Amino acid sequence: MDAEILFERRGAAGLVTLNRPKALNAVSHAMVLALRAQLEAWANDDAVTRVIVTGAGERAFSAGGDIRALYDLGIAGRHQEALQFWADEYPLNALIKSYRKPYIALIDGIAMGGGIGVSVHGSHRVAGDRCSFAMPEVGIGFFPDVGATWFLPRMPGELGAYCALTGERFNAADGVACGLATHRVSSARFPKLVEALTGTVSVDAVLAAFAEPAGEGPVMAHKTAIDRLFKGDSVEGILCALDREATSESADAEWAGKTAATINAKSPTSLKVALAQVRRGATYDFAACMRAEFRIVSRIIHDKDFYEGVRAVIVDKDNKPRWNPAVLADVSDAEVERHFAPLEGGDLALP
Residue 263 maps to which CATH number? 3.90.226.10
Tell me how far apart the alpha carbons of residues 28 and 348 are, in angstroms, rounded to a whole number: 20
Tell me how far apart the alpha carbons of residues 252 and 241 are, in angstroms, rounded to a whole number: 12
Residue 212 falls in the annotated catalytic set: no
pLDDT > 90 fraction of the chain, expressed in percent and rounded = 99
Identified catalytic residue from 65, 74, 122, 281: 65
Give the count of domains, the chain.
1
Q: State which residues form the domain around 248.
A: 1-351
Tell me how far apart the alpha carbons of residues 133 and 268 are, in angstroms, rounded to a whole number: 23
DSSP code string of 121-189: TSSEEEE-TT-EEE--GGGGT----TTHHHHTTTSSTTHHHHHHHH---EEHHHHHHHTS-SEE--GGG
Which pLDDT does position 351 carry in this prediction? 85
Please determine, for residue 1, whether its predicted confidence score (pLDDT) is greater than 70.
Answer: no
CA atoms within 13 A on the CB side of 284: 22
Residue 65 falls in the annotated catalytic set: yes
Q: pLDDT (tens digit, 9 = 90+) per residue, 290-323?
A: 999 999 999 999 999 999 999 999 999 999 999 9
Beta-carbon contacts of residue 108 (< 8 Å; ≥ 6 apart): 55, 58, 61, 127, 128, 129, 130, 131, 187, 190
Sequence letter at residue 160: G
Query: What average pLDDT score do residues 192-216 get?
Result: 97
Nearest to 272 by CA among 134, 161, 113: 161
Identified catalytic residue from 14, 64, 74, 114: 114
Residue 58 falls in the annotated catalytic set: no
Identified catalytic residue from 137, 158, 245, 293: 137
The secondary element (H helix, E strand) that includes residue 94 is helix 79-97
Which pLDDT does position 183 carry in this prediction? 98
Query: What average pLDDT score do residues 28-52 get?
Result: 98
Q: What are phi and psi of 196, to 5 degrees?
A: -65, -35
Nearest to 262 by CA among 135, 139, 174: 139
Nearest 5 degrees, angle CA 176-CA 121-CA 87? Answer: 140
Please give the model's pTM, rounded to 2 decimal places. Answer: 0.96
Nearest 5 degrees, angle CA 54-CA 31-CA 55? Answer: 15
Kindly report the number of other CB atoms within 10 A of residue 124's CB atom. Answer: 21
Residue 137 falls in the annotated catalytic set: yes
Which pLDDT does position 215 carry in this prediction? 93
**Are 174 and 218 spatial neighbours (Cβ–Cβ below 8 Å)?**
yes
Query: What average pLDDT score do residues 253-275 get?
Result: 98
Mean pLDDT value across the chain: 97
Which pLDDT does position 339 carry in this prediction? 98
Q: What stretches of 247-351 show up as alpha helix (H) in DSSP?
A: 253-264, 268-281, 286-300, 304-310, 333-340
Query: What average pLDDT score do residues 143-167 get?
Result: 98
Q: pLDDT (tens digit, 9 = 90+) per residue, 98-123?
A: 999 999 999 999 999 999 999 999 99
Q: pLDDT (tens digit, 9 = 90+) per residue, 205-228?
A: 999 999 999 999 999 999 999 999
Which pLDDT does position 237 carry in this prediction? 98
Is the backbone peptide bond immediately before 21 cis, with ω within 30 degrees of 0? no
Query: What average pLDDT score do residues 173-199 get?
Result: 98
* Local confidence band at 2 (pLDDT 50, 70, 90 cut-offs): confident
Tell me how far apart the alpha carbons of residues 225 and 256 are, in angstroms, rounded to a whole number: 9
Please determine, for residue 279, whether its predicted confidence score (pLDDT) is greater than 80.
Answer: yes
Identified catalytic residue from 145, 168, 174, 305: 145
